[in-house]
Amino acid sequence: MNTYDFKNTMSKPERLAPGHRMCAGCGGTIAVRAVLRGLHPEDQAVIGNATSCLEVSTFMYPYTAWEDSYIHNAFENAGATIGGVEAAYNVLKKKGKLKDADNFKFITFGGDGGTYDIGLQSLSGAMERNHDILYVCYDNGAYMNTGIQRSSATPLYADTTTTPVGSHSNGKMQNRKDLASIIADHNVPYAAQTTLLGNFKDIHTKAEKGIYTKGAAFLNVMAPCPRGWRYETSEIMDICKLAVETCYWPLFEVENGKWTLNYEPRKKLPIEDFLRPQGRFRHLFKRGNEHLLEEFQTEVDRRWEDLLFKSSRT
Amino acid sequence: MNSRTIEMRWHGRGGQGAKTAALLLADVAFKTGKQVQGFPEYGPERMGAPITAFNRVSDHKIRVHSHIYTPDFVVVVDDTLLESVDVTSGLKADGAIIINTSRSKEEILPLLKGYKGGVYTIDARKISIAALGKYYPNSPMLATAVAVSGVMDTEEFLDEMQASFQHKFASKPEVVEGNMMALKMALEEVTRKQQEVA
Amino acid sequence: MSIKERMSGNEAVSYAIKQINPDVMPAFPITPSTEIPQMVSGYVANGEIDTEFIAVESEHSAMSAAVGASAAGARTLTATSSCGLALMWEVLHIAASNRLPIALALVNRTLSGPININCDHSDSMGARDSGWIQIYAENNQEAYDNFIQAYRIAENKEVLLPVMICQDGFITSHAVENIELLEDEKVKAFVGEYEPEDFLLNPGKPMAVGPYAVTGYGMEAKKNQEIAMENSRSVILDVAREFAALTGRKYGYFEEYHLEDAEYAMLIIGSAAGTAKDAVDELRKTGKKVGILKLRVFRPFPGKEIAQALKNVKAVAVMDRSESYRGGGGPLGVEVGSALFMERVHIEAVNYIYGLAGRDFTVENAIEVFSEMEAMVTEGREVPQYQYVGLRK
Amino acid sequence: MRTDVTKITETSPYAELTEGLKIYAGGTSKKFHTGEWRTSRPIMNWEKCKQCLLCAPVCPDSSIPVADGKRGNFEMDYCKGCGICASVCPFGAIEMKEGQ
């Protein structure tokens, strides 16, 4: 891998065309653009996509925003679908039916609904079979496409339309699933977690590694949704930074079973700093709800300690 | 239905090879130029459960795809089934039943609900152990079924089985020999019993 | 010279697959179709074919991966039965709407519940409106022949639709019977190479598959898909003609057995048609004018042709091997009835449900059905227009 | 059907749509101008811009073109006016103004 040259990277031809219908300020497309910059310009790709905001907005007939070949199948089967494409590539190459096409890469995108929940089986199968693909989850922590319903990626106490805050409810009562760890435990060659930060070095490096690792790779990208999280669209980069600085969203990678923590805050910020700017957590800051914040903090701390332990093993 | 179609029903226990025997019979009859059908009755039964398999052998194309309810011949691969399964159900009076048993025909007869047709007993275990050193009832049962039913000439049957075993056990000539011996011993035994009947 | 062999229906289809050597086969085992992926895996393991076999974790993923592989430009197939097909249901529609010429070897088995592994047609009939071509077989020979014709139909540029090649679970899939096989090179020449015009892996020519379509496009897209199904009618017959020239074995939308002068007809699909033919032979010996219409192609539905073929009979027994739970019969009962009405063919029709969950259908059953039709017409016997055969009462 | 995809519209008859609604090209969305969605617009102050490019990757709409290490003008046909670029600019070179 080359060292990260930000200006060169940003000068690459754009692989996600404008004119798509994602929301103003969408974190998902920022993530997609960053991942696609991980592709070397001389390489071609087939992009897969689970049904999601991304899908219905980027391939609305007859407008595709994708410069590369693209396939959407259904909500729950992006893993199997891209696996089928990759298998076709291998056999057609073997049979000599693909002349001048030895540079295809396979990347698929799913939201947390299509990845953590309804598509988990398909993803798990594709990972276990070790197809030479990169599966990217753009995790915005709820089913945003259908109007902000909770998913298993939704954080504790988030206010969603199926976990509404009410006189008898403080939002979602369960902790979020840790999908990156689950995929890492498939013992795939590469699994990592990242988000949108600064000059995008972390996500770029991980996308490039994922794309060019032989075998199955998984990248979990926290991609904030201004509508679902209820913050000012312009503030996305601050939110992402706070997720990392509070250790809510640690940056890590697992290469052939070896866990590496990519960033450790000099001073871990309290979880309130990440939650406060988001309308979905407003109820946590009402008087009398301090214990809810404490609970949230306890879970963040526990997971952070666990990650420190995993990444300290040599 | 074509009058020249011979219908045979096999009764065995899961794992004993009744299904395989039925398929082998179809196989060898096919090789002698017949039209054949060999199929088991399927269920989720496992090892030891009673199972049924069927054969039709004809000189004409077989189109019927139902089970066999009035067989010409019945083969019972395990005599313990006689207590629990109505093996002679629908069996034609001018047909025959073949039973693998170490018991005598006289001991077996009371278990056959007054069946009036031919009854043949064969001790496949004894033959198999003598010929192969192990208990594989398939070869002796198959030979007996062929001899009793007359679905094909026994010499032709032996030739085809020899070729088939040689193909299947190319690297184990001793197994070919053992199986051929089992077939021949069963044929001799049946011939002896047929002569007794005559 | 054809090759005289004996094999089961599953072996026959697997053998056709071996001769075709398709590119990608994702599959998940389910009784009674399991032997097909097993045998194909065996061919791959022994280097007899270079198909990419993907041992997926569900039938849903099997059809999903098939969609990916086919869109990528690979000749693709899978095999399944019963609940496996049901699990694919959503993706079956996607495969068809994306116009992907995937082949599916379906070994018919009843849908749960109760769970039961034996034959009926509730699985494929449940998928009858998924946009797939459906072709049924009476025996192992037809399963083999139909599979060899499958890609020629599916990949025709005027069609480009997936095709389901159906045979009866256990009854033909596991029954060893005589069969005539074609030589490998004849199959290869007949099936030909798959050369898609557009595919995901076409270097430098990106393609996008599976869009969101607003109302302004969705209806037009569905009409185009329907036209492709209509186009398949003539292609199915053309391919059958070519196949007959090669093998001498003739196929059409359906087979007529003593139908030309029949007063009483039975319309039936699959292995039971053979049993019914034996019944016809017996009844003909006693002077009864009876005949069979064995339906081979159910999608596209040859309604006009069926109605014309039946127009001179006094009564037809429409035999459904699946229940529609519509409170009045099975799918064939509806579609044949509708076809007769639309063609102004005014004959008596009775819808019989038979063979559910593997209930055996015998020559005697078929004779009883014919007798009942005759009694209805000649003696004015009241016969319910919808009833079960072989049901314990 | 190899219809020219750039000519397909919601008034096209069914025979002119592509088979299976496949699109035989990349990036056709450029024909659709999302700039109309905008309620505020970014104004560039080139004098303050140091070409650090931190604004380029944060644009969800690929509307900040970069060539040879330098950014160009906003693609106003597509910019939806989210303001992320203005927010991340360390030099205050981008200002969001109300209106299209």
DSSP labels for C43-61?
Answer: HHHTTS---EEEE-SSHHH
Residues of A in contact with D81 (CB under 8 A): 24
**Which residue has tokens 């072989």?**
C390
Per-residue pLDDT at C263? 98
Instruction: Look up the CATH number of the domain holding residue B64.
Output: 3.40.920.10
Residue B64 maps to a domain:
yes
B and D touch per CB criterion (3+ pairs under 8 A): no
Per-residue pLDDT at C1? 65
Q: Do D17 and C207 touch (CB under 8 A)?
A: no
Which of A149-158, B38-47, C1-10 tops mean pLDDT? A149-158
* Tens digit of each residue's pLDDT (9 = 90 or more) over A54-68: 999 999 999 999 999
Task: Write down all domains in chain A, each with its CATH number in brackets.
Answer: 6-312 (3.40.50.970)
Structure tokens at A113: 């609904």
Same domain? C133 vs C260: no
Domain hosting B69: range is: 6-197
Check pLDDT > 80 for residue C92. Answer: yes
Residue B79 maps to a domain:
yes
Residue C260 maps to a domain:
yes
Same domain? C42 vs C142: yes
The answer to whether residue D67 neighbours chain C at the CB level (below 8 Å) is: no
The answer to whether residue C73 neighbours chain A at the CB level (below 8 Å) is: yes
Q: Do C176 and B23 touch (CB under 8 A)?
A: yes
How far, CA to CA in Å, does A26 sit from each of B170, C98, C202, D82? 68, 29, 31, 9
Look at residue C105 and give its three-state secondary structure: strand
Per-residue pLDDT at B1? 34
Same domain? C151 vs C298: no
Residue C393 maps to a domain:
no
At a CB cut-off of 8 Å and minimum separation 6, what does A87 contact? A131, C24, C26, C52, C54, C65, C68, C69, C74
Residue B24 maps to a domain:
yes
Same domain? C157 vs C194: yes
Residue B1 maps to a domain:
no
Same domain? C118 vs C25: yes
If one counts the domains in chain B, the total is 1
If one counts the domains in chain C, the total is 2
User: Rounded to the nearest 5°, which phi and psi values hold at C315?
Assistant: -155, 150
Could you tell me where the beta strands, DSSP code E, fall in chain A?
Answer: 44-49, 59-60, 63-64, 69-72, 104-111, 134-139, 165-166, 169-170, 190-195, 217-222, 252-255, 258-261
Q: Do C175 and B37 touch (CB under 8 A)?
A: yes
Q: Do A84 and C66 touch (CB under 8 A)?
A: yes
Instruction: Look up the CATH number of the domain holding residue C70.
Output: 3.40.50.970
Per-residue pLDDT at B106? 92
* Tens digit of each residue's pLDDT (9 = 90 or more) over A127-140: 999 999 999 999 99
Please give the Cα distance from A30 to A57 (Å, whole number).
Answer: 14
Per-residue pLDDT at B17? 84
Check pLDDT > 80 for residue C23. Answer: yes
Residue B182 maps to a domain:
yes
* Tens digit of each residue's pLDDT (9 = 90 or more) over C235-277: 999 999 999 999 999 999 999 999 999 999 999 999 999 999 9
Contact B35, B59 (CB under 8 A): yes
Per-residue pLDDT at B2? 38
What CATH number was assigned to the domain covering residues D33-100?
Answer: 3.30.70.20
Please give the Cα distance from A276 to A294 (Å, whole number).
Answer: 14
Same domain? C9 vs C93: yes
Chain A interface test: which of D29, D50, D74, D75 (most A C-beta within 10 Å): D29
Residues of A in contact with C26 (CB under 8 A): 80, 83-84, 87
Per-residue pLDDT at B198? 62
Residue percentage of chain A with pLDDT more than 70 = 99
Domain closes at, from C231, C247, C263 = C247
Q: Do A17 and D37 touch (CB under 8 A)?
A: no
pLDDT range class, residue C333, cuts 50, 70, 90 = very high
Residue C368 maps to a domain:
yes
Check pLDDT > 50 for residue A105. Answer: yes
- Residue B160 belongs to what H/E stretch? helix B154-168
Check pLDDT > 70 for residue A314. Answer: no
Mean pLDDT computed over every residue of chain C: 97
Q: Where are the domains of chain D?
A: 1-31, 33-100
Mean pLDDT computed over every residue of chain B: 92
Per-residue pLDDT at D66? 98
Q: How many Å lie between the alpha carbon of D97 and the closest alpha carbon of chain A?
A: 13
Check pLDDT > 60 for residue B82. Answer: yes
* Tens digit of each residue's pLDDT (9 = 90 or more) over C29-78: 999 999 999 999 999 999 999 999 999 999 999 999 999 999 999 999 99
A and B touch per CB criterion (3+ pairs under 8 A): no
Domain hosting C33: range is: 3-247
Please give the Cα distance from D64 to D47 (Å, whole number).
Answer: 17
Residue percentage of chain A with pLDDT more than 90 = 97
Contact B55, B25 (CB under 8 A): yes
Mean pLDDT score, D48-56: 98
How large is the ipTM? 0.95
- DSSP line for D13-64: -GGGSPGGG-B-SS-GGGGS-GGGG-SEEEEE-TTT-----TTSTT-TT--S
Domain closes at, from C217, C247, C277 = C247
Chains contacting B with at least 3 CB pairs below 8 Å? C
pLDDT range class, residue A310, cuts 50, 70, 90 = very high
Residue C173 maps to a domain:
yes
